[in-house]
Structure 1
Amino acid sequence: MSRTDGTTATVTRETHEVEALIIGSGLSGIGAAVKLREAGLRDLVLIEKADELGGTWRDNTYPGCACDVPSALYSYSFAPNPGWTRAFAAQPEIRAYLHRTAAAYGITPLIRFGTEVVRAQWHAAEARWHVETSRDRYSARFLISAAGPWHEPLIPEIPGLADFSGEVFHSSRWRHDHELAGARVAVVGSGASAVQFVPAIQSRVARLDLFQRTAQWVLPKPDHHVPGAERRLLRRFPAAQRALRSAEYAAMETLGLGFRHPAILRAVQKVGTLHLKATVKDPRLRRALTPDYTLGCKRLLLSNTYYPALTRPNVTVHATAVEAVRGNRVVGADGTGADVDTIILGTGFHILDMPIAQRVFDADGVRLGEHWKGSPDAYLGTTVSGFPNAFILLGPHLGTGHSSAFMVLEAQLEYLAGAVRHFRSAGWAGMDVRPEVQAAFNAEVQQALPPTVYNSGGCSSYYLDGNGRNSFSWPWSTGRMRRRLAEFDPEAYDVTLTSGVGRPVPAGR
């Protein structure tokens, strides 16, 4: 702040003391807040840099955006939603569900919107996290990262892209004010988002050129409208909804067997091959859309409209990565190209190089990202040695190719709530997972991953980090995950207790 005499005044901001600070107010942040309050914490705050809650379901508003797991599995078990209007819910319904849940459980008033975490550092002498935000400072006993892996868009470094004179935007930052009717559009990427928005915009644009670095396995999507009578039945008889959720969970877990035994998925893969043959008659286009790896090696995609959209006369599929943008021309690595006025990037997110890791520091001022050195690692995907009293939701090693993020999240929330309850009852000041425990868990995961389709399927995917290691996937069933995280294990942690003068002292093992 500048004074009239030309000097600069120091702005002193208040430091708010809270028991728990949660970064993010998407499905992870909301769920964490609910479970922490159930565990007895009342003094907590959620820091949200946007002006609305919802996380990925707030950010992704592209045409056709919807869930790719059954709706009955896409909700908190403690807040079931009998009102889904489709078997696979669309983005507006999911966003509305998160808003309703946050309001019903009293979480919305705890959110500090328009506030971004700048730096969070552990202070051992106080056994607290000091958190600097774009607005205020906080001192917190617990720090929970709920920023999520599908948050920061990945913008590829394409020569000439910055000089493109037309419109460029990522699918998760959709420009609804940009008119696509009659536009010449290049879509870069053919993953989960593109599979949904390409069919939604194909009929509106003059031309659509899809640059596909890698072909994707796309299975038919068993989506349908849920009749009002069925919704009324589920609302009136909660047991029926629980039965539906259990049945869909069992079906997805059966599919999950194939991710651990790829021979099973090769049989399922035949469904994808038949789906492709039934919808794409042109043999040349069909060859371009046929993957050369085992289904499940990349994220499983579902669509009834993607392949048909690619057969339309105004669509060209370039089976190549983009090499450069020259003027208004997008040029592929194979030399093909297209003159366009709009470029839409369906290029995914910073999944394993998560930006929050550059903003969280240990007691010595070393970034979490520096600890990881390109390969994220966490005990049970949740706690990291050297970062006491901190938890990561939807963290490393917990990703699955077949189940709902809510299944993973709720397993972690049980562990988080158990940790907080034990922490408070035992009179701890700090808890830090022992490095040998974390290393042993990581070794166990890495030993189990090679035979899974994630590692042996013959593709390169976002499951692999910058060092080529799979830091994303859980190599077992989600049932095993739930059992493993069901109870907090205090013996895995070095702890400190509060002495009579209020300073933490070693508690021993």
Structure 2
Amino acid sequence: MALKKSVVIIGGGWSGVGVAGSLAYNNFHDYILLEQADSIGGFWKYHTYDSVRMHDLSRLYKTPHDLSEKYKDHFLLQSEVPIYLQQYADYYGISNHILFGFRVTQISHQDDEEFCWTVTGINVGENIERTYICKYLCIATSYCRVPVIPENIKKSMNHFKRKIIHSADYKNPSNFDISKHRKILIIGGGHSSSEISTELTDAGFHVTIAHRSGQYFMRQQDWTSYLSNQTIEKSLQYWRYSMADENFKEILEIFNEQFSEKNISY
């Protein structure tokens, strides 16, 4: 028998908890939040490297209607994000509306029904299938949840003879033996690239970044100083490598020829 809820939220990370908080703030409680893991925090708790942190000051990134001033001028650490979200959930009574260990397997829609959305899934711990019908459905699963390797890079990977990993599998510099993997090529110029390259460089690795459009990186402490109208004393440490998509094969071949051993991370 299907269970009725006006709103079903899928995902217990930043977005899902924020939506639930907005509903609770407006005294709306006919909702349920479905989370596959055993606690809230999503991507930030289970799928990140140890040193990851928020990329904006928390006052710019906090959840809706959050009255806390504790993290006002702070870049939240990975370990702090789940704690922050749990405190927010407790404050608004969201925890009472969360079903943990629920993996969604199917979603369907009927145009002519008031409760037009049907969400089916399995309670992992009990292996029991459940179905919810609702008027409104919010899918709040992170776009970073599933690791992706661009197709153009996949085609070039066969030409690279060394070890290849995705950034989703990286935790900290201890993943690599510096005596064997001193030279590392990182493809991509996003937040993961800048943070991982910084950490590996500080640990003594020789890091090169390949990025299609060209980009400069700045440490967060320097950016914070800039925002505070202080002089940036440290110079940018990373050389940018700009290339078009079709040149990835060429750069991989160059690294394969020149370096005796290395890792590559996206």
Note whether the superposition's TM-score is higher than 0.5: yes
After superposition, the C-alpha distances for 1:180-225 in whole angstroms (9 at most, x for unaligned) are: 241343211122221122111213254323222221144674437x
Displacement of 1:150 in angstroms is: 4.2
Match of 2:251 among 328, 332, 337: 332
Contact 2:9/2:137, CA 8 A, preserved across alignment: yes
Q: Counterpart of 2:126?
A: none
Shift of 1:63: 4.5
Flag the 1:164–1:42 CA change in 2: closer, same or farther, 3 A: farther
CA distance in 2, matches of 1:87, 1:40: 30
Q: Among the aligned pairs, what percent are the same residue?
A: 21
In structure 2, what is the Cα distance between the partners aligned to 1:164 and 1:117?
Answer: 38
Shift in alpha-carbon separation, 1:323–1:77, aligned structure 2, 3 A: closer
Q: Who is 1:198 aligned against?
A: 197
1:210 aligns to what SS in structure 2?
strand
Query: In the TM superposition, what whole-angstrom CA distance separates every residue of 1:248-294 from its partner, at most 9, and x where no partner exists?
Result: 9xx9xxxxxxxxxxxxxxxxxxxxxx979x72xxxxxxxxxxxxxxx
Amino acid aligned to 1:337 = F
Equivalent residue for 2:166? 169
Question: How far apart, CA to CA, are the structure 2 residues paired with 1:169 and 1:216?
Answer: 20
Superposition TM-score, scaled by structure 2 size: 0.74
Give the letter aligned to residue 192 of structure 1. Answer: H
How far did residue 86 of structure 1 move? 5.7
Q: Do the aligned partners of residues 42 and 72 (structure 1) sit closer, same or farther apart at CA in structure 2, a change above 3 Å counting?
A: closer
AA of the residue aligned to 2:192:
S
| Corresponding residue for residue 127 of structure 2 | none
Quick check: 1:181–1:204 contact (8 Å CA) kept in 2?
Answer: no
- Evaluate the alpha carbon distance shift between residue 38 and residue 83 of structure 1 in structure 2; reply closer, same or farther with a 3 A threshold: closer
Q: Give the letter for the 2:196 counterpart.
A: F
Q: 1:64 to 1:85 in 2, by over 3 A?
A: farther
Give the secondary-structure state (helix, strand or coil) at the position aligned to 1:159. helix
SS of equivalent residue, structure 1 residue 152: coil
Quote the offset at 1:61 in angstroms: 2.6
**What amino acid does structure 2 have at the position aligned with 1:198?**
S
Q: What SS does the aligned partner of 1:91 have? A: coil
1:48–1:116 Cα contact (<8 Å) kept: yes
The separation in 2 between residues aligned to 1:52 and 1:42, in whole angstroms, is: 20
Q: How does 1:341-360 map to 2 (within 5 A)?
A: 341-345=262-266
Counterpart residue identity of residue 248, structure 2:
E
Distance 1:116 1:161, change over 3 A: farther
TM-score by length of 1: 0.42
SS state at 2:199 partner: helix
3-state SS, counterpart of residue 202 of structure 1: helix
What do residues 80-129 of structure 1 show as CA deviations (whole Å, max 9, x unaligned)? 33223864333322332112111222222422233232322222343221
Of structures 1 and 2, the larger Rg is shown by 1
Shift of 1:155: 1.5
Unaligned runs of 5+ in 2: 124-129
Can you give the 5+ residue segments of structure 1 that lack an aligned partner in the other structure? 1-13, 225-247, 252-273, 280-306, 312-316, 325-330, 346-509
Tell me, yes or no, if the aligned pair for 2:214 and 2:241 is still in contact at 8 Å: no
| Residue aligning to 1:66 | 53
Among 137, 144, 155, the residue aligned to 2:149:
155
Cα RMSD (Å): 3.5
* Count of residues in Structure 1 that have an aligned counterpart in Structure 2: 243
Residue 168 of structure 1 deviates from its aligned partner by: 1.0
Question: What letter corresponds to residue 179 of structure 1 in structure 2?
Answer: N
Amino acid aligned to 1:18: K
> What CA distance in whole angstroms lies between the structure 1 residues aligned with 2:97 and 2:161?
42
Q: Tell me if structure 2 keeps the 8 A contact 1:19–1:41.
A: no
Task: Report if aligned partners of 2:34, 2:102 keep a CA contact under 8 Å in 1.
Answer: yes
